[in-house]
Every structure is written in structure tokens, then in C-alpha cells.
A = this chain, B = another copy of it.
Amino acid sequence: MSTAASARKLRMGMVGGGRGAFIGAIHRSAAALDGRIELVCGAFSSDPACALASGADLFLPPARCYESLAEMLRKESALPIGQRMDFLSIVTPNHLHAPMATAAVKAGFPVICDKPLAISLREALDLRAAVRAAAVPFALTHNYTGYPLVKEARALVRSGRIGTVRKVVVEYPQGWLATRIEATGHRQASWRTDPARAGLAGCIGDIGTHAENLAEYVTGLRIRELAADLTSFVDGRQLDDDANVLLRFEGGAKGALIASQIAVGEENNLSLRVWGSGGGIEWHQREPNSLWLKSADQPAQLLRTGTAGLSPAAAAATRLPAGHPEGYLEAFANIYRAFAVQVAAHLDGVSPPTHALDFPTIDDGVRGMAFIEAVVASSCANAAWTPLASDAAPSAMASTQPARAVRGER
């Protein structure tokens, strides 16, 4: 007799993330942190030897280290519930996200997938249809919204604390692609600058979409149209490595989105500033446990993770007392933790508690792809104002050619 999922640890399978990969280890730590999820199987690499060795590194028995996702889905499905994997984590390069997620949900497995969701809006919409048809939980790891004070920022905006939102400035500067390291064999750089594996955008797809997701999450507003100026500063690079974008939101707010991978000396300086008619907020990933709340005619306040008086959403996302810094992994783990609650409810056939739904979903993924395509299309049209496609249907720009998107910009 199988145990209810809510009464046991959840079993996770993983595709991608073998030796030498980057994001797979992040996902595993995030999943492990709260002691609720255990890794039970994986298809860690398309190279069988690497797949096996990677599994051994993770203390998995050889029988649960598969050579392909197809094999994993088939064999895991054959195991009894309570032994087989309860959900799949997808941590491959971008171009494999949608096909693999589609296969998994069709096999009935809940999926948690790295971003971006797909390499085109078309593909994203098809995946959404598959997820809806399968009726399984699906999470996308737009991890930055997992920070307690990002949740606090959202709660402050919702509460009306800063009035009507007027202006949004969101940034994500990095410097690691300031030279052509993809030509030196750098593994991450190699696929992230390759249209075949990364999709039609570089910088804007890799990090710009995080900025977009953060801005919409916190403000609760949707970008209506944008005017984007993409550049590929490094000679020989096919995809954009820099973006300056004007934003217009539904309801009249305006803003700018600045993303770059050639900002020498920058790390991962995601930041967000929002000003409304009655106040402002400011958050920087670099010191994620601080959130500025600004008011007219009052001193600015520094809200801090773990202190009294924060919103329930922020408090629920916090593990430590104030002053003991929480970081990127904890924010990432908040997505896994919330997703796990939903997966357990799904397996038990019950409704998840409302609070467990605070994680990025397939809809965030579709939205992100619409954003990427709008940015590329706008930039191809010399920064013409371009609407974001509605959820229902991709715009005609879905066929945009990535290489052309940036070549004309300089």
C-alpha cells in the first residue's frame, strides 16, 4: 500500500545537470534544502558514461541512472508510486526544455523546468496546451521572485502602500560575455550564444526575461508595448549581448529595462526600482535582504528579511532570523518548496493550499517568450513600439530570425 505523498518525502528525477553543468547543482541544492525532496533518478547526460558517473557522484544506484529521458519516463512509470519519481526537474540547455517537458507531462509527471520555457512563443504555447491537457503541476524557475523581499515588494504594491505605479526601472547587468569567450571553449558561453541552442535571443532571453518577470511580478502590471535597442557588441557573436528597452505598462506606467552581458565588472546585479504616486521601492539582488521603502516627506525605511511587520508572503519565504543573510539558493528553494506542496496535493488528489501557488508557472513562461519575441521584433524594426503578444496567440513576429535581429543594430 502506497503512502500518501503528503506523508513522505517527494522523489525527484532530473534530466540534464551532469558533470560540468552549472544549473543542475543549483536545482539539486534548492530541492534538498528543506529535507522534503530527495533525488531518486536522473538522465544526467546524453553521454552514457557521463550519465552513470554523474549519478554515482550523487549516490544514485546505476539502475536509476538513465541514458535518455525516454528511457527514464518509461522505466520510472513502471515503478510503483512511492518508489518511482514523483516529478521531473528539467535543467538542460534551452532548446530541450519544451520537447522534454512535453514528453514528461504527457507521461503524467509534474515538471519543474529551468527558464526560458522554450525557444519560441509558438513552442511555448504548444507546451502550455500539453500541460493543460495533462493537468499536472508545472513550475518554471524564475528564481528571483523567490526572495522574501521581492515578495514583500509585491505585497507593498498590492496593498497600495506606494500608490498608483508610475515608473519602473529594472536592470540586469553582467559582464561575463564582454569578450568572445564562446570561442575559447567555454561551455556555458558556447550554448548561450548559439541560436540553435539558446533560441532567438541572447542577453534578453537569458537575463532580460528575468528582469521582465521580476517587474511584472512585483508591480502586478503587464507590459503593454516596448521599444528595444539590442546590440551585439562582441565581434562574431550572433545573438544580442546588450539591451536597452523602453517600457509602457497597461494602465499608464512607464519604464526602462536595461540588461547586458558586456557590462565589465558586473556580477548578477539584478535590481528593481518602482515609483508610485505615493512612494517608491528599491531592491538589489546583490544585497537581497534589504528593501528600501521610500515616501514623500518621510525618511526612507530599510525593510529587512526576517524582521517583524513584513507581509505573510515574505515571512513564509524566510528561514532565518533577521541579520542572518539568506541568498540565491534559499530563494530558489522557495520555488521547489511551494511546488512540492502542489505536487503532493496533486498526488494525493486534493487541492493545494492557496499559499502554495506562489511560484512561477507555465503562464509566466509563455509571457516570457512573448516578451523575448517582442524585444527582438522591436529591435529589428529599429526600436519601433511593439506590443506584447496576447496569451492566446503569438504575433506574426514569431518567425523572427535571430541573427538578423542584432546584425542591423550597429
The answer to the question of A128 belonging to the interface, with a C-beta cut-off of 8 Å to chain B, is no
Whole-angstrom CA separation of A136 from B50 in the bound complex: 35
Whole-angstrom CA separation of A32 from B7 in the bound complex: 19
What range describes how many residues of A lie at the interface?
Answer: 35 or more
**Among listed A84-92, A98-106, A326-334, interface-contacting one:** A326-334
Contacts of A58 in B (CB 8 A): 35
A179 touches B35 (CB 8 A): no
Q: Contacting A166 at CB < 8 Å: which of B22, B233, B300?
A: B233
Q: Which of A153-188 contact B (CB under 8 A)?
A: 162-163, 166-167, 169, 171, 173-175, 178-179
Whole-angstrom CA separation of A45 from B410 in the bound complex: 51
B169 touches A267 (CB 8 A): no
Contacts of A7 in B (CB 8 A): 59
Q: Contacting A324 at CB < 8 Å: which of B35, B319, B327?
A: B327
Contacts of A273 in B (CB 8 A): 263
The answer to the question of A313 belonging to the interface, with a C-beta cut-off of 8 Å to chain B, is no
Contacts of A304 in B (CB 8 A): 267, 299-300
B264 touches A277 (CB 8 A): yes
User: Which B residue's beta carbon lies closest to that of A383?
Assistant: B227
Q: Which of A171, A175, A297, A382 has the most CB of B within 10 A?
A: A175
Whole-angstrom CA separation of A30 from B10 in the bound complex: 19
The answer to the question of A76 belonging to the interface, with a C-beta cut-off of 8 Å to chain B, is no
User: Which B residue's beta carbon lies closest to that of A230?
Assistant: B254
Contacts of A399 in B (CB 8 A): none
**Among listed A112-120, A283-291, A349-357, interface-contacting one:** A283-291
B322 touches A260 (CB 8 A): no
Q: Which of A59, A255, A297, A300 has the most CB of B within 10 A?
A: A300
The answer to the question of A1 belonging to the interface, with a C-beta cut-off of 8 Å to chain B, is no
Q: Contacting A307 at CB < 8 Å: which of B169, B178, B280, B299?
A: B299
Whole-angstrom CA separation of A171 from B321 in the bound complex: 18
26 contacts between A and B (CB under 8 A): A7-B59, A8-B59, A29-B33, A38-B38, A162-B264, A167-B262, A175-B275, A175-B294, A178-B275, A178-B296, A179-B277, A179-B296, A244-B254, A244-B256, A246-B383, A262-B275, A264-B275, A264-B277, A264-B296, A265-B280, A267-B304, A288-B325, A293-B299, A301-B301, A327-B330, A383-B385
List the 9 shortest-distance A-B pairs measured between CB atoms, nearest first. Answer: A267-B323, A265-B294, A268-B323, A325-B327, A327-B327, A324-B328, A299-B301, A267-B322, A265-B280
